Amino acid sequence: MTSIGPFSIQTVSVLAAILLAWLVTRTVAKRLPETSHKLAGGVLLDAVFWGVIAARLGYIARWWEDYLAAPMSMISISDGGFSWWVGVLAALAFVWWRTRTLTALRRPVVTGVLISVTAWLAVGAMVGALLQKPLMPDVQLTTLDDQPISLMSYKGRPAVVNLWATWCPPCRREMPVFEWAQAEFPQVAIVMVNQGESAQDVQEFLKSEGLALTDVLLDPFSKTMHAMGAGALPTTLFFDAQGRMVHSHMGESTQASFRSTMSRHFAPSSAQ
């Protein structure tokens, strides 16, 4: 499973952590004399806002050269590019500054932040340890020249499988990223699996956009999407050489987020 309904698992986990922080903050504040639980909750939400901003800016700074190659991608937050440790530190710094004259609020807000971050990390580690890595689905697809091919034929080397459609705006926007990835990571199979469209539609789109993608496959009944539990397009799946999924991303990818994922999940020798 790569999503819960229309939301990625990563997005759901972050929203759950924010809700937990808000609930803990208000609960602790209610137990303290002369402390407004509503004000404490408001300070927490302000800290979350500035923390998210800082997390995004920290990520952009980390992958500055890739974002500079496509400056508009800096505002494409759907790429999932956030340095959360930067965000947590910024949120705590904001709380410290905001409560400099209201020190009674500091304890409940800081408690809410720390407990939610600890729970987020612990649950993430536990789920990662308990759940088996999904395997590359054994689905039968076709090439643009109507030749049958199994997705499993890419097993044996790292593979990135992108689920997309020509009618999907974020799918169209991210196509140049995968064209770039083909040249940047030649030892990784970049497999573009179209969902539910004809060869003619796909070929016309690739020609009109001037895209030179080598591994474009057709999945007319969206079997890959259903097999992987993908809730929306685009969805990008990262598999190791043994065919185990090591990462998934639902939403538009950018050059920076793609390189970041490759650096975290694949050794340099297998990604070059």
Tens-digit pLDDT profile for residues 239-250: 999 999 999 999
pLDDT above 80: residue 174: yes
Asked whether residue 120 is domain-assigned, the answer is yes
| pLDDT bucket at 5, cuts 50 / 70 / 90 | low
pLDDT of res. 130 = 65
Copy the structure tokens of residue 252: 């538009």
Find the helix packing angle between 37-62 and 103-130, rounded to 10°: 60
Q: Name every residue whose Cβ is closer than 8 Å to that of residue 241 and which is 6 or more positions away in sequence.
A: 155, 156, 157, 158, 270
| Structure confidence by residue, pLDDT tens digits, 185-206 | 999 999 999 999 999 999 999 9
Q: Name every residue whose Cβ is closer than 8 Å to that of residue 46 and which is 6 or more positions away in sequence.
A: 94, 98
- Residues 20 and 114 reside in one and the same domain: yes
Asked whether residue 135 is domain-assigned, the answer is no
pLDDT above 70: residue 7: no
pLDDT of res. 131 = 65
- Residues 145 and 267 reside in one and the same domain: yes
pLDDT above 60: residue 140: yes
Burial of 71 from C-beta contacts in 10 A (0-12 / 13-18 / 19+):
exposed
Number of domains in the chain: 2
| pLDDT bucket at 123, cuts 50 / 70 / 90 | confident
| pLDDT bucket at 114, cuts 50 / 70 / 90 | very high
We report the CATH number of the domain holding residue 163 as 3.40.30.10
pLDDT above 60: residue 36: yes
Q: Whole domain around residue 186: which residue ranges?
A: 140-271
| Structure confidence by residue, pLDDT tens digits, 89-106 | 999 999 999 999 989 999
Residues 237, 224 contacting (CB under 8 angstroms)? no
Nearest residue to 246 via CA among 132, 130, 121: 132
Copy the structure tokens of residue 230: 């993908």
* Sign of the alpha-carbon dihedral angle for 241, 155, 238, 252: positive
- Residues 191 and 75 reside in one and the same domain: no
- Residues 105 and 162 reside in one and the same domain: no
Asked whether residue 166 is domain-assigned, the answer is yes
pLDDT above 70: residue 268: no
Asked whether residue 159 is domain-assigned, the answer is yes
Copy the structure tokens of residue 81: 């590019």
For residue 170, whether the previous peptide bond is cis, meaning omega lies within 30 degrees of 0, is no
Distance CA 48, CA 26 (A): 15
Residue that terminates a domain, selected from 130, 164, 187: 130
- Residues 213 and 118 reside in one and the same domain: no
pLDDT above 70: residue 270: no
3-state DSSP assignment of residue 143: strand
Copy the structure tokens of residue 269: 């020798």
- Residues 147 and 239 reside in one and the same domain: yes
Mean pLDDT of the chain: 91
**What's the whole-number mean pLDDT along residues 27-45?**
94
| pLDDT bucket at 266, cuts 50 / 70 / 90 | confident
Copy the structure tokens of residue 134: 């999904």
- Residues 69 and 150 reside in one and the same domain: no
- Residues 156 and 186 reside in one and the same domain: yes
pLDDT of res. 78 = 86
Residue that terminates a domain, selected from 62, 97, 130: 130
pLDDT above 60: residue 6: no
Strand partners, 218: 142, 194
pLDDT of res. 3 = 55
